[in-house]
Structure 1
Amino acid sequence: MLTIEDTLEGDVKIICPTGKLDTLTAKTFEAHLQSCVEDGNGPLLVDMSGVDYVTSFGLRSILIVAKKLAPFGRKFILFATNPSVMDVLRVSGFLKIVTVAENQDAAFDMAGLSQTASSDP
């Protein structure tokens, strides 16, 4: 199962999925990201701290959205990935395709944004 909540940090939308990103949930995740792509024009930041498992279907969803944003110069940044998800991204070669930041502050820096609201843990 996967749940997705969006939060706002100032005027920046952060997508926060929780659960497994697999065969059953990847299409939902992809559709949600697609709607965020269509609704905005800034970077797309995804807090991966709640995702504990990613399959090839989940990777495919990430790749599709990253490719849609690239021609427009929009950044797509995953952040706060747990070690097992980071291993999947590393082994699959996705670290060459998608930007991954250690935490939200680093994601904002990589996106060229300033954090306007406090992000105390």
Structure 2
Amino acid sequence: MAELIQETNGKVLIVRLPARMDAAAVRELEEPFAQSIADHNGPVLVDVSKVDFAASLALRMLMMNLKDQQNRGQNLMLFGLQTQIAEVFRKTRFDTLFTIADDEASGIEQLSA
């Protein structure tokens, strides 16, 4: 069973994704992920540091929530991309769509400014 871990740091919601974001995990997490972001009404920092597999549905989930955040006038930032996930982001040009922080502290700092 896939699980989201959520916490707040000031006005920033931090959502931690599990290691395996395959189709089954995305189906399980997509609605709670979107709902927690919508309920927060502020900037969101997504921890992908444990993600070692991301199906295309996981990329879609992130993209949809990025667009929803932008439509609300809020930010959604990622941090902790492992090498293989960073390569997928580069090849799909998702790295040009998302702001990707070096680490959690810098993400919180940027979103709190």
What TM-score, normalized to structure 1?
0.83
- Superposed CA RMSD in Å reads 1.6
Q: Deviations over 1:15-42 (max 9, x none)?
A: 1112211211112232122111221111
SS in 1 for 2:17: strand
State the identity as a percent: 25
Q: Distance in 2 between the 1:100 and 1:30 partners?
A: 21
User: Contact conserved, 1:3 with 1:19, CA < 8 A, in 2?
Assistant: no
Q: Which moved more, 1:52-61 or 1:30-39?
A: 30-39
1:1-12 to 2 correspondence within 5 Å? 2-12=2-12
Question: Which residue does the alignment assign to 1:53?
Answer: 53
What TM-score, normalized to structure 2?
0.88
Structure with greater helix percent: 2
* 5+ long unaligned stretches in structure 1: 115-121
Of structures 1 and 2, the one with the larger relative CO (CA 8 A, separation 6+) is: 2
Question: Which residue does the alignment assign to 1:108?
Answer: 108
Q: Distance in 1 between the 2:90 and 2:18 partners?
A: 21
User: Contact conserved, 2:11 with 2:43, CA < 8 A, in 1?
Assistant: no
